[in-house]
Chain A
Amino acid sequence: MRHLLSTRHLSRDEAVAILDVAEDMADVSTREIKKLPALRGKTVVNLFFEDSTRTRISFEAAAKRLSADVINFAAKGSSVSKGESLKDTAQTLAAIGADAVVVRHGASGAPQVLATSGWIDAGVVNAGDGTHEHPTQALLDAFTIRRRFFGADARGRDLAGLSVVIVGDVLHSRVARSNAWLLTTLGAEVRLVAPPTLLPVGVETWPVTIDYSLDSALATPTDVVMMLRVQAERMSAAFFPTAREYARLWGLDDERLARLDEGTIVMHPGPMNRGLEISSGAADSARSTVLEQVSNGVSVRMAVLYLLLSGEREDLA
Chain B
Amino acid sequence: MPERVVLQQADIARALTRISHEILESNRGADGIVLLGIPTRGVLLGRRIAATMSQIAAVPVPHGSLDVTMYRDDLSRGRIRTPSPTQIPPGGIDGAVVVLVDDVLYSGRTIRAALDALGDLGRPRAVRLAALVDRGHRELPIRPDFVGKNLPSSQHERINVRLTEVDGDEYVSIVSPEGDPA
Contacts and interface: CB of A to CB of B under 8 A. Distances in A.
B11 interface: no
Nearest to A311: B80
B85 A27 contact: yes
Contact of A38 (B75, B77, B82, B121): B75
Interface string B42-75: 0000000000000000000000000101110001
B125 interface: no
* Residue from A32, A311, A312 with most neighbouring chain B CB atoms (10 Å): A311
B120 A311 contact: no
B150 to A, nearest CB: 31
Contacts of B69: 38
Interface string B107-121: 000000000100011
A19 to B, nearest CB: 12
B179 interface: no
Nearest to B122: A32
A19 B122 CA distance: 27
Interface in A31-72: 31-33, 35-39, 66
Contact of A311 (B67, B79, B86): B79
A312 B78 contact: yes
Contacts of B77: 311-312
Contacts of A33: 120-121
B26 interface: no
A39 B75 CA distance: 8
B4 interface: no
Contacts of B85: 23-24, 27, 155
* Residue from A1, A38, A307 with most neighbouring chain B CB atoms (10 Å): A38
Given A38-B75, A310-B75, A27 B86 contact: yes
B75 A24 contact: no
Interface residues of B, number: 20
A20 interface: yes
A35 B120 contact: yes
Interface string A148-189: 000000010000000000000000000000000000000000
Interface residues of A, number: 23
Contacts of B75: 38-39, 310-311
Given A21-B83, A27-B86, A35-B120, A311 B78 contact: yes
Interface in B81-138: 81-86, 116, 120-122
A24 B83 contact: yes
Contact of B70 (A1, A23, A38, A155): A38
A36 B76 contact: no
Nearest to B86: A27
A185 B154 CA distance: 47
* Residue from B67, B120, B122 with most neighbouring chain A CB atoms (10 Å): B120
A312 B71 contact: no
* Residue from B81, B82, B86, B122 with most neighbouring chain A CB atoms (10 Å): B82
A284 to B, nearest CB: 33
A17 interface: yes
Interface in A63-120: 66
A310 B76 contact: yes
Contacts of A39: 75
A24 B67 CA distance: 10
Contact of B82 (A21, A35, A66, A309): A21
Contacts of A31: 120-121
Contacts of B71: 36-38
Contacts of A20: 82
B114 to A, nearest CB: 13
B122 to A, nearest CB: 8
Given A66-B70, A312-B76, 13 more contacts: A1-B80, A17-B82, A20-B82, A21-B82, A23-B85, A24-B86, A35-B120, A36-B71, A37-B70, A38-B70, A38-B75, A155-B85, A310-B75
8 contacts: A17-B82, A21-B82, A24-B67, A38-B71, A39-B75, A306-B70, A309-B76, A312-B78
Q: Which 9 A-B pairs have the closest CB atoms?
A: A311-B80, A36-B70, A38-B70, A33-B120, A310-B75, A24-B83, A311-B79, A310-B80, A37-B71
Interface of B: 67, 69-71, 75-86, 116, 120-122
